Amino acid sequence: MPNAATARLAYGGDYNPEQWPEEVWHEDVALMREAGVTLVSLGIFSWARLEPREGEFDFAWLDRVIELLHAAGIGVDLATPTVVPPAWFYRAHPEALPVSREGVRWEFGSRGAICHSSPAYQRAAARITRALGERYGRHPAVEMWHVHNEYGVPVLECYCDTSAADFRRWLRDTYGTLDALNAAWGTAFWGQAYGEWSEIQPPRAAPTTTNPAQRLDFARFASDSALANFRRERDILHELSPGVPVTTNFMVSPTQCDTIDYWAWGREVDIVTNDHYLVAEDDRNHINLSMAADLTRSVGGGKPWLLLEHSTSAVNWQPRGIAKRPGEMARNSLAHVARGSEGAMFFQWRASRAGAEKFHSAMVPHAGTDSRIWREAVDLGAHLGALAGVRGTRTAADVAMVWDWQSWWAQKLEWRPSEDLDTRERAEAFYAALFDRHFTVDFAHPEADLTAHPLAVVPALYLTTARAGENLRRYVEAGGTLVVSYFSGIVDEHDAVHPGPHPGALRDVLGLTVEEFQPLRAGRTVTLDGAAGPLTGDVWAETLRPAGAETVWSYADGPAAGGPAITRHRLGDGTAWYVSCRLGADGLDAVLAAAGADAGLAPRDGLPRDLELVRRDGEGGRYLFAINHADADASFDLPAGTADGAAELLAGAPLTGGRLTVPAGAVRVVRLGG
């Protein structure tokens, strides 16, 4: 954990001093102290500067930067710069540039152009990592290691011949025999049987759609091959820098990276760290932020994690660089902290003058320190200082949401029953519905134990292994309440349909079968009738056959008119709901209200819609974060029995009668008493 010695929340950002003359470094460090910066990520893009020619190192400048920071009491999250091999490397090893599916070899001149299977890249990355570890591994300023940068973006998959050979090795390790591979990939279809390993290629561009099991395995292979490179660097650093945590910055938000299986990666880092950028155009983009933060915490098993990058204001890579409103940066930072982050870090410390990201906001903007952004950065440093006590506490969640990157990859492949099926969209819609009910979400792998949560939702799980199906059935039998949305439980890990009627892996738990999918024409809707009132669906409908489940809403019109639309199945001590069409926010809210009642979750009615309330509890105390995203003040009662001795930590706000008012756009954090 960074800052272990000083018990501070981490505050700072990516620091790129090599872009500036040395006199600016002194100003930087003075300003960092003014803002309360505790940690900076250093050297992420410095390979060309650290190793200007192969095997020739220049550490003198980095020595000076680290000493300056150390003397000012600022910790270093030291990077291995292996996301940007220098120009000399690519001239010597052009084969290490990645090749696209269409056979285009990407050129040097941006960043992240890496074939993860390239032995030359692996050797060079290990050499610079070892050199850094030997020089700084025991330096007292180094509080954390930052391996690489955002594995998975901008490109992960490489289709070159070296990757092809590596893919074949991965397949041999996975399947053992060609017979097993042919069976798993269903190569009897379209005459694709392989008689020799050497005949297998990556799923390169082909005349029409490629074998989906082959594509799915290639996606798994790509995530694994980058992970092998992470592990190599991590192990070198563990050897040379004992006790210092090693991380790599994730981008868990499905809006931002879709190539990495973070369930697998979360087990490999010493502390999970994440980068998150707002979807600037979205008026309620704080919901996507909360979802990313909850997912980040979950891939780390619920332990505290660290937000390693977000922005003080605009980003430069979205269609419009929309500036954050006053107070928004603090709301964003503290929402991450509420959901388990041990601090708030930014890209980047000082806005660049040159290069691709010069229009990206920073803690020190082009406008300098006489600016709103700087003043808010200083205020945020003070706020984080006041919240040191939350370190080590854990976010308390109410509901589990099942999410699986591999299922998402499989569902996104071509030739599905409707191009309107969208795993990410459903996950975001369910998450927003839970957010609006003021429930905090833990994400879970489909095979993980869900029993800590009374309610579990499955927004879209096209690929459901038999084990996952059993896991969900056991969860319900043991008393859980499950809500499953359409096109889940359909295929196994090889994208083969489970035997028998759909949804093969979930028939038992849901108490029904799907006789026929009924995707809707573009723009069409269906009406659902039920005792709790009519609902509207779109995109999808199904002809359902109950086998134990009761009908709660039925189709009033559309292709499945007269049949069940939303069902409820009592099984063992629990209940499983099934939703067979795409519901909007109102429909999801109605189903979640009913399922929440089954689960015994007390509704949090009467709270303002955009008042985000999140708890962190632990030995350090019990903390309630109240973040008001609305333009009007919001008031609420503290939880029963917590008002005595409670204190508000950011503004010293009064807790009159156990009630707290959060001004429009503000954040309050209460250490609960009682």
Q: How far is the CB of 14 from ligand GLA (least distance, A)?
A: 6
Greatest pairwise CA separation for the chain in angstroms = 77
Q: Does 357 bind ligand GLA (CB under 6 A)?
A: yes
Q: Does 77 bind ligand GLA (CB under 6 A)?
A: no
Q: Does 277 bind ligand GLA (CB under 6 A)?
A: yes
Size of the residue set binding ligand GLA (CB under 6 A): 9
Say how far apart CA 429 and CA 338 lie, in whole Å: 22
Q: Which amino acid is residue 636, in one-letter code?
A: F
Q: Does 309 bind ligand GLA (CB under 6 A)?
A: yes
Q: How far is the CB of 437 from ligand GLA (least distance, A)?
A: 31
Q: What DSSP element (H or E) covers 528?
A: strand 525-530
Say how far apart CA 273 and CA 271 lie, in whole Å: 6
Say how far apart CA 556 and CA 534 lie, in whole Å: 9
Say how far apart CA 651 and CA 667 lie, in whole Å: 9
For residue 546, CA distances in Å to 509, 564, 567, 657 come to: 12, 8, 8, 52
Q: How far is the CB of 354 from ligand GLA (least distance, A)?
A: 14
Task: Provide the CA 455 distance to its chain's centre, in angstroms.
Answer: 21
Q: How far is the CB of 299 from ligand GLA (least distance, A)?
A: 17
Q: Does 615 bind ligand GLA (CB under 6 A)?
A: no
Task: Provide the CA 269 distance to its chain's centre, in angstroms.
Answer: 15
Q: Does 149 bind ligand GLA (CB under 6 A)?
A: yes
Say how far apart CA 262 and CA 223 lie, in whole Å: 9
For residue 62, CA distances in Å to 34, 424, 602 come to: 23, 42, 55
The mark string for 554-583 relative to ligand GLA (x by CB under 6 A, - otherwise) is ------------------------------
Contact 261, 235 (CB under 8 A): no
Task: Output 190 or 359, the one with its CB closest to ligand GLA.
Answer: 359
The residues in 375-394 that bind ligand GLA, with binding defined as CB under 6 A, are: none
Q: Does 347 bind ligand GLA (CB under 6 A)?
A: yes
Q: Does 275 bind ligand GLA (CB under 6 A)?
A: yes
Say how far apart CA 348 and CA 555 lie, in whole Å: 52
Q: Is 428 a catalytic residue?
A: no
Nearest by Cα to 425 from 250, 254, 219: 254
Q: Which amino acid is residue 49, in one-letter code?
A: R
For CA atoms 228, 196, 184, 543, the dihedral sign is positive
Q: How far is the CB of 283 from ligand GLA (least distance, A)?
A: 20
The mark string for 211-230 relative to ligand GLA (x by CB under 6 A, - otherwise) is --------------------
Q: How far is the CB of 316 from ligand GLA (least distance, A)?
A: 7
Q: Does 315 bind ligand GLA (CB under 6 A)?
A: yes
Q: Given 3-state DSSP classes, what are the helix, strand and coil percentages for the chain, each rounded to the nearest 5?
A: 35, 20, 45
Say how far apart CA 595 and CA 613 lie, in whole Å: 21
Task: Output 151 or 374, the one with its CB closest to ligand GLA.
Answer: 151
Task: Output 347 or 374, the one with its CB closest to ligand GLA.
Answer: 347
Task: Output 147 or 450, the one with its CB closest to ligand GLA.
Answer: 147
- 139 burial level (CB within 10 Å; 0-12, 13-18, 19+): middle
Q: Does 360 bind ligand GLA (CB under 6 A)?
A: yes
Task: Output 50 or 441, the one with its CB closest to ligand GLA.
Answer: 50
Task: Output 357 or 610, the one with its CB closest to ligand GLA.
Answer: 357
Instruction: Select which of 51, 157, 233, 309 is catalytic.
Output: 309
Q: Is 157 a catalytic residue?
A: no
The mark string for 150-189 relative to ligand GLA (x by CB under 6 A, - otherwise) is x---------------------------------------
Task: Output 3 or 149, the one with its CB closest to ligand GLA.
Answer: 149
Which residues bind to ligand GLA, rule: CB under 6 A? 149-150, 275, 277, 309, 315, 347, 357, 360
Residues that are catalytic: 150, 309
